[in-house]
Amino acid sequence: MPKKKRHGAIALLEFESVAAGIHASDVMVKRSPIALLRCGSIHPGRFLILVGGSVASTEEAYAAGLQVGENRGALGGSVFLGDVHPSLHDAVLGKRRDVEGDSLAVVETHSSPALLAAIDAAVKSTPVVLSEVRLGDDLGGHALALLSGDLFDTETALDICGARAGTQLLASTLLPRLDTDLRSVLDRGTRFESCPAWEPSGAEYPEEIACSWDA
């Protein structure tokens, strides 16, 4: 099975309309030889474009996408990462890693480009594990990341994310001693639909439940 390519640079653009996003996608792929890694609509009526390739080709496509967004007044946010951290590159493309260490940092931003900029800065400065990245889908257009590791490292990473995201930071939290059962659940992901039922040993519940409709 062929190994997936890892691109040296990636860029993410967010548009306020689907029509503008599709237009920009066409312009970008025609402008330079980049990989169109992902593109599509997210809530509420926005459009994301993720491209990757060499630094020069990605930057050229990124500039073309920015121009479309500015001309149409539809650019919601953007980020160009000319030296993207490998763990962020893989996480954006769907790779998950188990939560490690004692602590967990959760970061939410208003936009997906803001999250990538913040997380890239954090993982380049601290030895945290990037366990999950979600961009837009099922989050009302917001973005989410889980960072895990030792308490000092996750706390530092959270501070870096907050400083880098600025006003785009929606919320963040630090769990210094993550519950082991919750850890097992989060290792499967943060989506409600894919969350497994988890009944730890010692959970209390009645052996028999009398239902009124059985009477």
Q: Stretch 122-128: mean pLDDT, rounded?
A: 97
- In-domain check, residue 212: no
User: Are residue 45 and residue 98 in the same domain, yes or no?
Assistant: no
- Per-residue confidence (pLDDT) for residue 208, from 0 to 100: 52
Entry pTM = 0.87
Taking only the tens place, the pLDDT of each residue in 94-124 is 899 999 999 999 999 999 999 999 999 999 9
Confidence at 138, pLDDT banded by 50, 70, 90: confident
Whether 151 and 176 have beta carbons less than 8 Å apart is answered as yes
211 domain-assigned? no
What is the distance between the alpha carbons of residues 193 and 91, in angstroms, rounded to a whole number? 20
Asked if 144 and 174 sit in the same domain, the reply is: yes
pLDDT value at 3 more than 60: no
With b for 16 or more beta-carbon neighbours within 10 A and e for fewer, the 92-128 pattern comes to: bbeebeebebebbbbbbbbbbbbbbbbbbbbbeebeb
pLDDT at 125 over 80: yes
Domain that holds residue 73: 9-81
DSSP state of 3: P
Average pLDDT of 148-171?
Answer: 97
Based on the structure, what is the number of domains in the chain? Answer: 2
Together in a domain, 93 and 63? no
CATH at residue 181: 3.30.70.1710
Q: Is residue 184 part of a domain?
A: yes
**Is residue 133 situated within a structural domain?**
yes
Q: Give the end of a domain, one of 62, 81, 100.
A: 81
Task: Give the DSSP letter string of 118-150.
Answer: HHHHHHHHS--EEEEEEESTTTTT-EEEEEEE-
**101 with 130, same domain?**
yes
Predicted local confidence at residue 188, as pLDDT: 87
Return d(Cα 189, Cα 88) in angstroms, integer: 16
When comparing pLDDT for 86 and 203, which is higher? 86
- pLDDT at res. 6: 83
Last residue of a domain, one of 60, 81, 102: 81
